[in-house]
Amino acid sequence: MTYSTALITGASRGIGAATATALAGSGIQLIGVHYRRDQRAAEDTATRLRSLGATPILIQADLAEGEPAAAAIAKAWNQALAAHGYSGTDVFVSNAGINGAQSLAELDPETYARVQAVNLTAPLFLLHHLADSLNDGGRIVAVSTGYTRIAAPTHLAYTASKAGLEGALRAVAPELAQRGITVNCVAPGVIDTDLNADWINQAGAREGAGRLSAFGRIGTPEDVAEVITFLTSDRSRWITGQTIDTTGGSLL
């Protein structure tokens, strides 16, 4: 099975940009580069994709708007597919997300609602709006978090959103399997991206976070993108409804 089209949310930087680059390297031809507001970063991703022979399609939307944002992304992506002569979506990577670190004492309704909208509501409705355009044998991967396995009292709203996404994708996996479509999550540990920019460069923080991993370092966006690339290839055809730990063996 050859895959030609992929939509990736949050592909302007971090894990999403690394995934877009890896998928272009694996031969995907049309790549939807969704981003929130940093058009320059999205253009940088697009330039890398072009240099690898892929055609990037930039799609702007704020996932904090929930379902309407999801509908707008699906509409723009489906129009791009038709304009470039493709029949549908081969690969959908739901990557965009926000951290929203909050403990039980800190929990506030606004932050909670925003985290759920970006990390759970918008991704699930994007899958809903894309469902008809998914090609048989397609691949869906969502980026969850190792915190669905490892207790993180500092990240309550975040963990709830990602655990919800894992559960919803597991629930939909049998239905989509009837069309040969696989649905999986990856669950990264601490990765060197802007998501952690507020603390990772503080004295000793990087080393301390690295010690959580069995390999003694924090992960790179490419460490996760490689696993996503496998899960979006034909080689992963016998895996669905699963969450693949990509924490570098953190807190085993």
Q: Does 226 sit near ligand NAD (CB under 6 A)? A: no
Write down how long the chain is. Answer: 252
C-beta closer to ligand NAD: residue 97 or 138 = 97
State in angstroms the smallest separation of the CB of 244 from ligand NAD.
13
Contact 133/171 with Cβ under 8 angstroms? no
Show the site string, 139-168: x = touches ligand NAD by CB under 6 A, - = not.
Answer: ----x-x-----------------------
- Is residue 90 a contact partner of residue 3, using CB atoms and an 8 Å limit? yes
Maximum CA extent, the chain:
52
Contact region for ligand NAD (CB under 6 A) — 8-16, 21-29, 79-87, 166-174?
8-16
Candidates 3, 35, 147, 158; catalytic one? 158
Report whether 61 contacts 37 (CB < 8 A).
no
Residues 88-127 contacting ligand NAD, CB under 6 A: 95-98, 118
Distances in whole angstroms, Cα of residue 167 to Cα of each of 20, 32, 99, 220: 25, 25, 19, 26
- Binding of ligand NAD by 10 (CB under 6 A): yes
**Cα distance between residue 119 and residue 189, in whole Å:** 16
Query: Of these, 4, 12, 102, 148, which contacts ligand NAD (CB under 6 A)?
Result: 12
Cα(65)–Cα(22) distance, integer angstroms: 29
User: Among this protein's residues, is 3 annotated catalytic?
Assistant: no
Site for ligand NAD, rule CB under 6 A = 10, 12-16, 35-36, 62-64, 95-98, 118, 143, 145, 188, 190-191, 193-196
